[in-house]
Amino acid sequence: NAGVTQTPKFRILKIGQSMTLQCTQDMNHNYMYWYRQDPGMGLKLIYYSVGAGITDKGEVPNGYNVSRSTTEDFPLRLELAAPSQTSVYFCASREVGGLYEQYFGPGTRLTVT
């Protein structure tokens, strides 16, 4: 089992560029999440999904979009990148019910200059 995988690991964007952060999980989890973590800060929820075709905003959704066409994939789209989006992005997933344990991917380090 690969668990949760994310690509790319690192990326440098120029202001105004766009990109998609990829996230895939092979655990057949219904719930998936995108977080950002700024230096010295806790993780903040950007978007989440409770199943294919269903997404909802988290705490900090502005500047991002998501889609969930399959159970496995949950890409995060950045449109018109801004320096404030420089951060580490983590994707996570969990099964329905249970103890709410979330399994995280290794993260994508994004720098916008």
Partner 1 sequence: RKEVEQDPGPFNVPEGATVAFNCTYSNSASQSFFWYRQDCRKEPKLLMSVYSSGNEDGRFTAQLNRASQYISLLIRDSKLSDSATYLCVVTPRPVNYGGSQGNLIFGKGTKLSVKP
Binding site residues, partner 1, CB under 8 A: 31, 33, 40-45, 48, 50, 54, 56, 58, 90, 94, 99-102, 104-107
Q: How far apart are the first and last CA of the chain?
A: 36
- Supply the minimum distance, in Å, between the C-beta of residue 105 and partner 1: 6
- Supply the minimum distance, in Å, between the C-beta of residue 101 and partner 1: 5
Cis bond before residue 75 (omega within 30° of 0):
no
Residue with tokens 């690969």: 2
In the bound state with partner 1, the residue whose beta carbon lies nearer, of 62 and 97, is 97
In whole angstroms, how large is the CA radius of gyration of the chain?
A: 13
Q: Degrees (nearest 5) of the Cα angle 22, 12, 93?
A: 25
In the bound state with partner 1, the residue whose beta carbon lies nearer, of 50 and 80, is 50
Phi/psi at 15 (5° precision): -55, 130
- Supply the minimum distance, in Å, between the C-beta of residue 96 and partner 1: 9
In the bound state with partner 1, the residue whose beta carbon lies nearer, of 12 and 15, is 12
